[in-house]
Amino acid sequence: MDRLLYLGMTAAKHTEMAQTANANNLANASTAGFRADFHALMSQPIEGPGQATRVNAVLDAKLSDFSEGSIMSTGRSLDVAIQGEGWFVVQDAQGGEALSRRGDLHLTADGKLINGAGQPVMGDGGPLAVPEHDSLTIGSDGTVSVVPKGLGPESSIIVDRIRLVSADPAQLRKGEDGLIRTVDGATPPADADVRVRSGSLEGSNVNTVDAMVTMIELARRYEMQVKVMSTANTVSETGARLMRVE
């Protein structure tokens, strides 16, 4: 019964964690550039003295699906979508650098270019800032050009270039802040081959139908594992009563 209880307990624990990740996917189904998460579980024997009778269902890794989301046309000059593989480099809350596919960009009151999550977008010269202007365009290579305020279209100048990088998906991990980083923590070098499409936005790669089906499956699995623990307790109590000396 001890082994049965351990199986039910550890499986229920990690099923609950998988359900949390799945619920987060559903909550971000409409978030630009979001990458779905999932848990990989494995069986691991409990080491120690005695017979090898206990096996835990343990979390092997929290992984992310790095496949592309659908790209929709918005017509907004500050919406940019990466075509194919590639990443934007953004500044995280600690001042370090991380990767993101979120292309719903905005300008702050002091001219800083940020994404929809409020993270500064990095250019070749650091956090990208844009001076006052009458119009702004983003080229396919990430070049940000503006027409200075009060001047004509012929006065267009290049402000900076959005830093675009590429990386091996196998070497990427998503942090608790939702940003992507390489396993070794280093920021990949700029890649001139990465291209963006202005006036378009990449959506989340979450399949809401699959996520709903997964939610139902995980809920049923959790109920089954709780029943396993309940059955183990019932059998244990029954055995104790049979062995009790009156």
Identify the pLDDT of residue 4.
Answer: 73
Please determine, for residue 150, whether its predicted confidence score (pLDDT) is greater than 90.
no
Phi, psi of 94 (to 5 degrees): -90, 0
User: Domain boundaries in the chain?
Assistant: 2-66+206-243, 71-202
Are 205 and 69 a contacting pair, CB within 8 Å? yes
Q: Could you give the angle at the alpha carbon of 187 between the alpha carbons of 123 and 161, nearest 5°?
A: 15
Pairing, β 200-202 against β 71-73: antiparallel
Identify the pLDDT of residue 7.
Answer: 72
Are 136 and 146 a contacting pair, CB within 8 Å? yes
Per-residue b or e along 28-38, where b marks 16 or more CB atoms closer than 10 Å to that residue's CB: beebbbbbbbe
- pTM to 2 decimals? 0.79
- Indicate the pLDDT class of residue 9, thresholds 50, 70 and 90: confident
pLDDT, one tens digit per residue, over 178-202 is 999 999 989 999 999 999 999 999 9
Lowest mean pLDDT among 48-52, 68-72, 129-133, 151-155: 48-52
Identify the pLDDT of residue 56.
Answer: 61
Please determine, for residue 58, whether its predicted confidence score (pLDDT) is greater than 80.
no
